[in-house]
Amino acid sequence: MRIQELGAHQAHGWAFLRLGFRPFYLGAALFAMVAVPTWVLVWLGYLQWTPALAPVWWHAHEMLFGFVAAVVIGFLMTAGKAWTGLPTPRGPALGALALVWLAARVALWWVPYGVYAALDFILLPSVALILLRVLLRSGNRRNLPIAGLLGFMALANGMFHASVLGWLNLSPQVPLYAMLSVVVLLESVMAGRVIPGFTMSAIPGVSIKPLVWLERGVMLSTGLGLALWVFAPAEISPLTAWVLAFAALLHGVRQSRWSPWACRTRPMLWILQIAYAWFSIGLGLLAVALWGGVAVSVSAAIHGLAVGATGCLILGMITRTARGHTGRKIEADWREDTAFGLILFAGAARVVWPMLAPHQTAWAVGVSALAWAMAFFIYAITYGPWLMQARKDAKDG
């Protein structure tokens, strides 16, 4: 029997390339661990770097299209198989996709910008087409909009590179804001599915039924508010602010129905609940910043959505899904507890500290970056070996 099982594992190939979450989660964690402290050292003047891309654009782009995109790709190629029952890339095909991602992360340091842009651009449309093909083959039309969001991400990335290269008369800031907006929308969709589901399966007696009008209102107000923020002229900022404030309110109402207090003793749940609370905070801060007259910057709002909401949600999801897909119990131990505490502190330090003490912004950014890096370091050293090994329950994947 043991010989047969060994043969079966050999037939499936190297464990690290059996499912999309394995290389992309680990790559994203390692990159997050290095890229943010690197940026802070450059920003503070301790590291001299003169790349073809301005450091501030590098930081924003690589966090969105490097780190976040890697997690999204790993998650969707894993979820796509579960949604459809059809295979997603594995083995050499998955390895090639991961190598393209990795090559883009290091290319800017060594090659002309155009080569970097080509390497960086090709991945997202490729994955969007892969997911679209799997969904259409299976008749799974419910998730087709998610493939469409990947397409929008690819479009934003292309616009960013075109603006940097001077092919498009547009500030690189616009496609970066557009990408953040698409990420927030995608996360809002996925959070609305997984947080209530995880809560009901983990806590007996909890029943959460979605309200159609509320779900639609959340998505419409969030999408409209972010679209106005990205594309509308500055003259209508007060209108944009009201739409974003309404979206923040609806996110809060939505979360209040997910029994957040019942999750307080379960780290794998409360990290997702706190992450989702940052959506209301981030959108609310953005509304206040656009209204003006108060010491809240657009940067604070952006980092509320990027570090608070996205960072916490990503760490919560890549721990939970990695445990599940490697055949382990979905239970946090002291390592996850520590990593979750660090990422929560990183978000609060980056957003709240500079607002309370603007003269200490450099300290706040530095401390936040250190906490962020330590959180993903814990993930990498804990989950890295698991992601490279076969499932603990001997199943494929």
Q: What is the pLDDT of residue 10?
A: 42
Gyration radius (Cα) of the chain, Å: 21
Location of each CATH 1.20.210.10 domain in the chain = 190-389
In CATH terms, the superfamily for domain 190-389 is Cytochrome c oxidase-like, subunit I domain (1.20.210.10)
Q: List, in sequence order, the alpha helices (H) in 139-211.
A: 144-164, 173-202
Tens digits of residue pLDDT in 73-105? 999 999 999 999 999 999 999 999 999 999 999
Tens digits of residue pLDDT in 324-356? 999 999 999 999 999 999 999 999 999 999 999
Q: Which of 7-16, 18-27, 285-294 bottoms out in mean pLDDT, i.e. has the lowest?
A: 7-16
In this prediction, residue 4 has a pLDDT band, given cuts at 50, 70 and 90, of very low
Share the mean pLDDT of the chain: 93
Q: What is the pLDDT of residue 12?
A: 60
Question: Token pair for residue 193?
Answer: 């599915």
**Average pLDDT estimate for 261-284:** 96
Q: What is the pLDDT of residue 6?
A: 34
Per cent of the chain over pLDDT 70 is: 96
CB contact set of 136 (below 8 Å; sequence gap of 6+): 144
Tens digits of residue pLDDT in 295-309? 789 999 999 999 999
Report DSSP letters for 209-277, one per residue: ---HHHHHHHHHHHHHHHHHHHHS-GGGHHHHHHHHHHHHHHHHHHHHTT-GGGGTT-HHHHHHHHHHH
SS3 content of the chain, % helix, strand, coil (to 5): 80, 0, 20
| 299 C-beta neighbours (distance < 10 Å), count | 15
Q: What is the pLDDT of residue 1?
A: 34
In this prediction, residue 51 has a pLDDT band, given cuts at 50, 70 and 90, of low
Q: Whole-model pTM?
A: 0.93
Separation CA 183–CA 275 (nearest Å): 14
